Structure 1
């Protein structure tokens, strides 16, 4: 990862002041206070994996406050942060909700007034993922922000290992590969969050959580042409009949939802400049279609144009926009 800032070359008595000034100037106007004895040290590293921004922050004991004023003054995009604890412990507080994370735990951070306390120092990985993509699958982030997603959970372990390995090799990837690998990482994080939401859920919300888990599973296995409603029901631990009932209660059909997601993802990839040379058949298989003919037929029914026409039209509109 690329080092954005480090206090190592700064005189010990100036380190915390310089750290605070750097964060306010380069990141966000946060309220930061030093905690605990000893000289302060801090480091910010960053990596860009496709569209994902990943920051690794290492500090001594510190408290960071995100205030309403800071949120109003900042230029935050439409992303949600997932924090991965690498070492030490952090306590995330928001209103009446609090979560303390240890090594290997995850926690979702939305854009609300809150604080982060690292009493004895530590290191965390902060991954920015698209808010719309997360909330489309598992609902508004405000419902599960500051909820600890434990390291003991199998899906958490897989996601954590994946990101550690991804950050080691991402620089050797082509842009298209990095985009795809980053997208897989987001799917793994979403699956981990969805699994956590099935625990300690009030009965009245259980059906919603089951559907959210099913949708997370769909996103994770969308490329698999063998994905079926019965497989999906088994993956989330309910009968097929019950899962069908839950989707119908929300005005949806499982099979229709799967095909709609496949078509939507295919359309998104056809719009991506780095995928302009990808053969239509390869793109179709990557989205779970068993043949290019089947894909083209369904795509034209949905969008009123063949995949090739759709991509060409997107390219021409982009070119006209760029040339005024």
Structure 2
């Protein structure tokens, strides 16, 4: 990640003032105050993965407030942030919810009035993404903003580990691959939030969360040719009848959703220059199709072109 700021070589007396100046330069809508008299220490690093921005922050104990006027000045309503606490503790207060995150926990932070406090030695990794990316899968962010998604959830641990490693290795990836890896990581975050919400949300929303957990399971297992509605139901711990009813009330069928996502992912890979060396047969297998013939028939029915023709149409050589 690119280092934007460090207090390491700055005079102690000017460190906090320089830090505030840097926040203003980066258009971060925060009013901050130190919570102890110790020499201030902080570091900020950043990386961009297409529509996603990763920021790693190491800082001393601070109280940070995002005020309504500062948020309006920022004008970033279309974005939302996810924070991973890597060390220390973070407390977040937003709307009517106040929670604490310890090492390994994650939290969603809306661009709304917010108060945050950090403990000594705090280190966090923040991911800023298009708001629609989460809300299209999980519904309005107000239902899960400032909710602690704890490290006791395997999905949360996996999501944090994934982004920590991505923050270390993204510079070794080409731009297209880095964007694709970021998207995979966001899917892990969606699965984490869905699992956490399923524990204590009202029944109508719980149904929506079950559907999103089902979709997250499908995304994670598209390459498995045995993936089918009974397997998805078993993974969620619900009956096949209930799973079908949940999808039917949303105008969908589980099996149709599985094939739709397989075809959409296949089309994305056929149009991806990074996948141009992969044969159509291999690509079909990676998306869960048992044979190239089956894949070609379904693909042409969906997109009007055979896979090889589609690849030519987007300017990539056919395989």
Q: TM-score, normalised by structure 1?
A: 0.87
- Report deviation, 1:176: 5.2
- Please give the per-residue CA displacement for 1:4-27, whole angstroms capped at 9, x wherever unaligned: 211111111111111111111124
The aligned counterpart of 1:28 is 28
Kept after mapping to 2: 8 A contact 1:139/1:212: no
The aligned counterpart of 2:100 is 100
Q: Gaps spanning 5+ residues in structure 1: where?
A: 317-324
The aligned counterpart of 2:7 is 7
Q: Taking structure 1 as reference, are residues 75 and 292 closer, same or farther at Cα in structure 2, changes over 3 Å only?
A: farther
Give the 3-state SS of the residue equivalent to 2:200 in structure 1.
coil
Kept after mapping to 2: 8 A contact 1:138/1:213: no
The aligned counterpart of 1:192 is 192
Structure 1 window deviating more from structure 2 (286-295 vs 210-219): it is 286-295
- Report deviation, 1:192: 1.3
Q: Taking structure 1 as reference, are residues 148 and 264 closer, same or farther at Cα in structure 2, changes over 3 Å only?
A: same
Kept after mapping to 2: 8 A contact 1:184/1:220: no
Pairing 1:113-132 to 2, within 5 Å after superposition: 113-132=113-132
Kept after mapping to 2: 8 A contact 1:175/1:274: no
2:231 equivalent to 1:231: yes
Structure 1 window deviating more from structure 2 (302-311 vs 183-192): it is 302-311
- Please give the per-residue CA displacement for 1:226-275, whole angstroms capped at 9, x wherever unaligned: 21111111111111111111111111100101111222223333444444
Pairing 1:155-304 to 2, within 5 Å after superposition: 155-175=155-175, 177-304=177-304
- Report deviation, 1:138: 2.1
Cα distance in 2, alignment partners of residues 44 and 215 from structure 1: 35
Q: Taking structure 1 as reference, are residues 224 and 135 closer, same or farther at Cα in structure 2, changes over 3 Å only?
A: farther
- Report deviation, 1:315: 4.2
Kept after mapping to 1: 8 A contact 2:211/2:246: yes
- Report deviation, 1:66: 2.2
Cα distance in 1, alignment partners of residues 193 and 181 from structure 2: 19
Kept after mapping to 2: 8 A contact 1:30/1:70: yes
Kept after mapping to 1: 8 A contact 2:28/2:74: yes
- Report deviation, 1:193: 1.2
Q: Taking structure 1 as reference, are residues 172 and 180 closer, same or farther at Cα in structure 2, changes over 3 Å only?
A: same
Q: TM-score, normalised by structure 2?
A: 0.88
Give the 3-state SS of the residue equivalent to 1:84 in structure 2.
strand
- Please give the per-residue CA displacement for 1:84-141, whole angstroms capped at 9, x wherever unaligned: 1111111111121122101111111222222221143400011234543433322222
The aligned counterpart of 2:40 is 40
